[in-house]
Structure 1
Amino acid sequence: MPEGHSVHRIARQFARNFTGKPVAASSPQGRFAEGAAVLDGREMLQAKAVGKQMFLEFDGDVWLRVHLGLYGAWDFAGEILVDPTIASANGRMGQTNQRGTDLDEQIFDDAGENSLSSIGAPRRSRVHVRMSEQTRGLVDEGEQWPPPVVGQVRLRLLTDITCADLRGPTACVLQTPDEVLGTIAKLGPDPLVGDPAEGEERFVAAVRRKATPIALLLMDQAVVSGIGNVYRAEMLFRARLNPHTPGRDVPEEVLRELWHDWVRLLAIGVETGQMMTMDDLDPEAYRAAMASRDDRHWVYHRAGLPCRVCGTEIALEEIGARKLYWCPSCQR
């Protein structure tokens, strides 16, 4: 499931390519035909993300709420305008990574994820981009416009030069402004939405009220927005916190450290497009991490392998119907 950084990146892509323009909407699959008919011809006014949910505002007080869930993805085609000012976590400009690549080179890791800080350099050629947790990057699209519909497209949004196709979302619904506010009110704080200091207080208060294990609370979108399975495992390890500790038993200073860690990791994820959770890597290790997810995390997806710190075998268990990776020694 896409975690918070991916959804923020998708929202920013809509802001760059669709806001301020009239949008043609259709539902090639047919499952969102009525909603698409309402959106068709309206101007998109803004795009924003809160945690794993994205909200697109159209004129006439109409909002589109999208939750990608486990299988959803956006595919962009056409003239993709990318912000050239986003810097990566190591301070480099967004369209260059530590391999020394130039702006037009496409860099993917072994899982097919783009290692650049954005989906590509600013360009005027027609391209195709998949925006999901498993980003596939830029592919030549050719000259056909609009691009042909491929697969089960729930919703197609189209301007004169850019196309966005939505496939397989958990939620794709129209909402009124009041309904949007109601949806957001049910979500926990997101470091990129509102005042981070206020978000910190909400997070700490919510966790300290509950006897639920901290590993479940970090995945509860009503407690904190945007954290998924990868960030959950990595944040708990970075805090050296036993995942089974009841929320109310976690020291307040540790909770505040968790929140600040989430603020930092989310910013890195948005800037780089990567869930990079290891710090202070030398250039060689950083290059390896950008090329391979196996070198990017402390414990996630490392069941049975030795802990990078103490050598203890990384444990794997199921909690809340999701896989949890942790080190029984470092996280006692």
Structure 2
Amino acid sequence: MPEGHTLHRLARLHQRRYAGTPVGVSSPQGRFAAEASILDGQVLVRAEAYGKHLFHDFGAGGTVHVHLGLYGTFTEATLPAADPVGQVRLRLVGRTHWTDLRGPNRCELLDEQQADAIKAKLGPDPLRRDADPDRAWRRISRSRTSIAVLLMDQSVLAGVGNVYRAEVLFRHGVPPSLPGRSLDVALWREMWADLVTLMRGGVRTGRIDTVAPEHLPEVTGRAPREDRHGGEVYVYRRAGLPCLVCGTAVANSELAGRNLYWCPGCQPA
């Protein structure tokens, strides 16, 4: 599932290409046809992301809410628009570009109150300037649940997925099993600031990089990471490989239905 930086990249791209002008809206697949007919030719007011959710605000016409889930993808290209290929749920056509949406978990037209209700259920998003990290801390500091689970709970913290979860815990030497209420508030603030920096980097580059300069392949002589997610990381999907810092084999287990990665040497229980 795409992490928050991917949705913010899409929001910025669509804001730049489509906002402020009339947009052609259609549903070649047909599943969004009735809603598309309401929006077709309307001006896109704003595209924005909140956590792993994307919102296209058409003003009085309503807001298109997209959650990509595991299989949703956007494809982008310059005009002229090509014939639809596959199950295209939503097509947007602007003055210079067009984009197709396939396979989302959710693609729905909402009114303002409905869109606000979705946002209200989400925790603070490190990529939003209006985010309040203390709101997440109030949930974390009262919870017996492990910090690894809390970081993935979108009602606690929005936009953080499995990669950022594993990497921020490693970077701060926090064992994944630590109960939220046992985390020091100063450490939480450092982790939040780190997430802001790392995720903003992801928005800029389109990949997740968490490794310090001194641990990069060109410095250490190791082979670059090869993974469809891209980027250089410390523990994510490195189970059994030596830690880039201490050499201990990276551990892996399942937690709340998701793969968890950590270094027993750098993150002792």
How does the TM-score come out when normalised to structure 1?
0.75
Kept in 1, the 8 Å contact 2:42–2:61? The answer is: no
Quote the offset at 1:178 in angstroms.
1.2
Aligned length: 265
In the alignment, structure 1 residue 284 sits paired with structure 2 residue 236: no
- Say which of 93, 96, 101 aligns to 1:158: 93
User: Which range is displaced more, 207-216 or 277-286?
Assistant: 277-286
Q: Percent identity?
A: 47
Instruction: Indicate how the Cα distance of structure 1 residues 165 and 289 shifts in structure 2: closer, same or farther if over 3 A, else same.
Output: farther
1:286, 1:13 → 2: CA distance? 36
Q: Classify the secondary structure of the residue corresponding to 1:44.
A: coil
Corresponding residue number in structure 2 for 1:134: none
Within 5 Å, give how 1:57-72 maps onto structure 2. Answer: 57-72=57-72
Within 5 Å, give how 1:1-332 maps onto structure 2. Answer: 1-78=1-78, 145-196=80-131, 199-281=132-214, 284-285=218-219, 292-293=226-227, 296-332=232-268
Kept in 1, the 8 Å contact 2:217–2:224? The answer is: no
Question: Once superposed, what is the RMSD of the aligned Cα atoms?
Answer: 2.1
2:187, 2:101 → 1: CA distance? 39
Quote the offset at 1:290 in angstroms.
7.9
Gaps of 5+ in 2: none
Quote the offset at 1:265 in angstroms.
0.6
User: Which range is displaced more, 286-295 or 65-74?
Assistant: 286-295
Kept in 1, the 8 Å contact 2:126–2:159? The answer is: no
1:271, 1:287 → 2: CA distance? 26
1:192, 1:297 → 2: CA distance? 20
CA offset digits 1:154-173 (Å, max 9, x no partner): 11111243111000111111
Gaps of 5+ in 1: 80-144
Kept in 2, the 8 Å contact 1:187–1:224? The answer is: yes
Kept in 1, the 8 Å contact 2:207–2:231? The answer is: no
Kept in 2, the 8 Å contact 1:25–1:37? The answer is: yes
1:285, 1:207 → 2: CA distance? 37
2:82, 2:58 → 1: CA distance? 24
Kept in 2, the 8 Å contact 1:61–1:177? The answer is: no
Quote the offset at 1:307 in angstroms.
1.1
Kept in 2, the 8 Å contact 1:315–1:326? The answer is: yes
Instruction: Indicate how the Cα distance of structure 1 residues 268 and 285 shifts in structure 2: closer, same or farther if over 3 A, else same.
Output: farther
Quote the offset at 1:10 in angstroms.
0.2
Kept in 1, the 8 Å contact 2:38–2:61? The answer is: no
Kept in 2, the 8 Å contact 1:289–1:296? The answer is: no
CA offset digits 1:125-154 (Å, max 9, x no partner): xxxxxxxxxxxxxxxxxxxx3211111111
Quote the offset at 1:291 in angstroms.
7.3
Quote the offset at 1:193 in angstroms.
2.0
Kept in 2, the 8 Å contact 1:288–1:295? The answer is: no
Instruction: Indicate how the Cα distance of structure 1 residues 65 and 316 shifts in structure 2: closer, same or farther if over 3 A, else same.
Output: same
Letter in 2 for 1:162: H
Kept in 1, the 8 Å contact 2:46–2:58? The answer is: yes
Kept in 1, the 8 Å contact 2:5–2:127? The answer is: no
